[in-house]
Amino acid sequence: MHEMRKRWGEILGCAPLARVADWHSIVGPRAELTPLAYPLFATADVRAVREGADRVLRDARSRGLIVTVARGLHVAVPLDAGPEWRPRVVEVAWLIAVARHGRHPAPPAAPPYLCGITAASLHRAANAARGIVHVTVPRQTRSLELPALRASVVFHQRFERCLGSPWWYSQVPDREDAGPELEDLPGQLCRPLMTSRNQTALDLLHSPARMDVWGETRPIVRRLLLGGDYRAFLAVAKNQRRHSAAERRSYERPWPDAWFTA
């Protein structure tokens, strides 16, 4: 298993790689609770602990402590950042999903994660659509524009269910965990979760229309799985709704390799 891959609890507990302005330095020492997705926070979070939230935000912006990425959404700035610093859109997109759905949704829901063509581009297997980030969340969520980053976030709903034929449960290697296989992506503000190479391939094969990659799906999948362990790929599909997608990949392999070799 890839060295980057960790348990969700360990990933979600990681601190940012860069030191950012402390929440109390923005809103004052009497603020008790730090927002769930900090260093991303909303104007409403400031209003909950301080009067004159607009003035507080203007002051923090003038001191270079925050940048506003969308109406009512702000990000704390790393302490060593320059005046033109802007956050990576994939990190902001993931933090927005965390703010809306939590870091630990109730099982069997998975935590928010970067998915589809966005994950494929992060694995360097595809060119993502410019200015669009795809994030999977447990419940239906409207897309969001981020004018300051010239980008938009598209949310995809996925609620886990274990489905599959008896053949899969008897022939495919066991996995330690059910649901999507996720990795962490080291970032400056946070460590977003994203699908592994195998999971990204499965998701694209399962529903290419969701990412608008009809003509590019198979080349992207080939690049994602190049040099990988085929039985590990099958194992990722186990206990989730990706069995047919895994079998579609089999059709691309010369018989009998698809069934008798790893």
Percent of the chain residues topping a pLDDT of 70: 81
What pLDDT sits at residue 105? 81
- CA distance linking residue 46 with residue 182, whole number of Å: 33
- Between 163 and 34, name the one with better pLDDT: 34
Average pLDDT of the chain to the nearest whole number = 83
What pLDDT sits at residue 184? 94
* Token code pair at residue 184: 């962490």
pLDDT bucket at 244, cuts 50 / 70 / 90: confident
What pLDDT sits at residue 199? 95
**HSE toward the beta carbon, residue 60, CA cutoff 13 A:** 27
What pLDDT sits at residue 163? 52
Contacts of 161-166 with C-beta under 8 Å, sequence gap 24+, read: 161/108, 161/240, 161/241, 162/239, 162/240, 163/240, 163/241, 163/243, 164/238, 164/239, 164/243, 165/243
Q: Is the pLDDT of residue 201 over 50?
A: yes
pLDDT bucket at 168, cuts 50 / 70 / 90: low
DSSP bridge pairs for 184: 193
Predicted confidence (pLDDT) per residue in 44-103, tens digit: 999 998 899 999 999 999 999 999 999 999 999 998 888 889 999 999 999 999 999 998
